[in-house]
Amino acid sequence: MTMVEIAFWLCVALIAYSYVGYPVVIWALSRIFGTAPASRPLPDDELPMVSLLIAAHNEEDIIAQRIANALELDYPPDRLEIVIASDGSSDSTPRIVSSMADPRIRLLASPIRRGKAAVLNAAFRAVRGDIVLLSDANTFTDRNAVRRIVRWFADPRVGVVCGRLVLTDPATGRNVDSLYWRYETFLKRCEGRLGALLGANGAIYAIRRSLYTGIRSDTIVDDLVIPLITKVRSGCSIVYDHDAVACEETPHDFGDEFNRRSRIGAGGFQSMVRLGWLLMHGHGWVAFSFISHKVLRWLCPFLMIGALATNIALAGEAFYRQTLMLQLAGYGLSLLGLATGSMASFKVLRLATMFTTMNAALLVGFWRWASGGQRGVWQRTAR
């Protein structure tokens, strides 16, 4: 076997392991070595003080609805504060929040745009809750979610709890979780059983305020960095609660979604460098999951390019001409899905388009990170 053949099969094997092999391996490991975490409901007199912290920028269209949703949470009013941290909003967001008379609502308004990481660092110094539940302005939290999340903190070993985000259709409100989203939720449940949960979802996760040590102000994906740094520094557990639910509408526009994924991709490459010490200090299952679930996933665009380039070099042989045709057919299906808008109608088109565009977004994200074009300041998605 030539070096080009070895390179081709290595690229193919790593892609296959990242998306197909790892889910099988992590499921098996979670069943053999993992345990299902357990908790108990807490009576009202044992419930901790909770700060629901929402970072917002120019959210005048949704912020009143978001606060109304928060005020309906099933949690003792004297043990809940709702903190809106406005990051240099130039619209009516601060005025709307200030106009609400409920004493549970607090506004922390920064007159200048600093980025989400800087806003969170400042807000954690100002919130009063023992537990800080982080969320987004476009997220709607299930009425019972806070009670479900805080019960885990009765165990002093638990430092971070991640809930489940459900995606809904903006027109009908129906659950439209894609195959990929269900796939990611499955991985979270397996990693949670193994004590190897990686990060959280920014829409719904909580942390002990005493464990928050701050993050660099240019951090792009805070919901990955904060939980992992907290776990490594304190030795705490990260728990996934499938039944603590929040809902969020899917983006209306493909361009918005692509841009969001590119930003997350840039944050992934930034995190791979900054959290690289996870791979060198014997962090057990966490290091294994970080390599398999995150690092290889972020490297997949380059593996795909490598597989295509080496396949072209090998196309003189009949077998490799067939593998090249398969690759080109996959990319053709992706382009067809984009051109016809048939992603929702045909599973093959939808999967091919999702896979290709997701990795294309990662590649754009890499360029933004490498060129310094992606900052920690986020852009709101049109809703």
- 311 near 4, Cβ under 8 Å? no
Closest C-alpha among 359, 194, 221, 199 to residue 288: 194
CATH number of 44-250: 3.90.550.10
Residue 283's CB is within 10 A of a number of other CB atoms, namely: 17
Domain ranges of the chain: 1-33+253-383, 44-250
pLDDT at 56 > cutoff 80:
yes
Closest C-alpha among 193, 208, 224, 124 to residue 161: 208
Handedness of CA 274, 277, 279, 282 (dihedral sign): negative
pLDDT at 253: 64
pLDDT tens digit sequence for 285-339: 888 999 999 999 999 999 999 999 999 999 999 999 999 999 999 999 888 877 7
| Token duo for residue 38 | 């357990």
Contacts with 307 (C-beta within 8 Å, 6 or more apart), sequence order: 8, 11, 12, 15, 327
- 131 near 51, Cβ under 8 Å? yes
How many residues are given for the chain?
Answer: 383
Over range 145-163, report the average pLDDT: 95
pLDDT at 35: 87
- 212 near 226, Cβ under 8 Å? yes
Q: Tell me the C-alpha distance between 233 and 211, whole Å.
A: 9
In one-letter notation, the amino acid at residue 183 is Y
Question: Which residue is it, tokens 């908790």?
Answer: 39
Over range 223-243, report the average pLDDT: 91
pLDDT at 173 > cutoff 80:
no
pLDDT tens digit sequence for 186-227: 999 999 999 899 888 889 999 999 999 999 989 999 999 999
| Token duo for residue 246 | 């929040």
In one-letter notation, the amino acid at residue 165 is L
Over range 365-374, report the average pLDDT: 85
Taking the chain, what is the end-to-end CA distance rounded to the nearest angstrom?
Answer: 53
Phi, psi for residue 205 in degrees, rounded to 5: -155, 155
Q: Minimum mean pLDDT among 60-69, 170-179, 209-218, 269-278: which range?
A: 170-179
Contacts with 191 (C-beta within 8 Å, 6 or more apart), sequence order: 26, 30, 197, 198, 240, 285, 289, 293
Q: Residue 65: pLDDT band by 50, 70, 90 thresholds? A: very high
pLDDT at 341: 66
In one-letter notation, the amino acid at residue 53 is L
Contacts with 220 (C-beta within 8 Å, 6 or more apart), sequence order: 263, 264, 266, 267, 270, 271, 369, 374, 375, 376
pLDDT at 269 > cutoff 80:
yes
pLDDT at 375: 62
Contacts with 229 (C-beta within 8 Å, 6 or more apart), sequence order: 213, 215, 275
pLDDT at 383 > cutoff 50:
no
DSSP sequence for 155-191: STTEEEEEEEEEEE-TTT--B---HHHHHHHHHHHHH
- 285 near 179, Cβ under 8 Å? no
Residue 335's CB is within 10 A of a number of other CB atoms, namely: 13
pTM: 0.88
pLDDT at 89 > cutoff 90:
yes
pLDDT at 176 > cutoff 50:
no
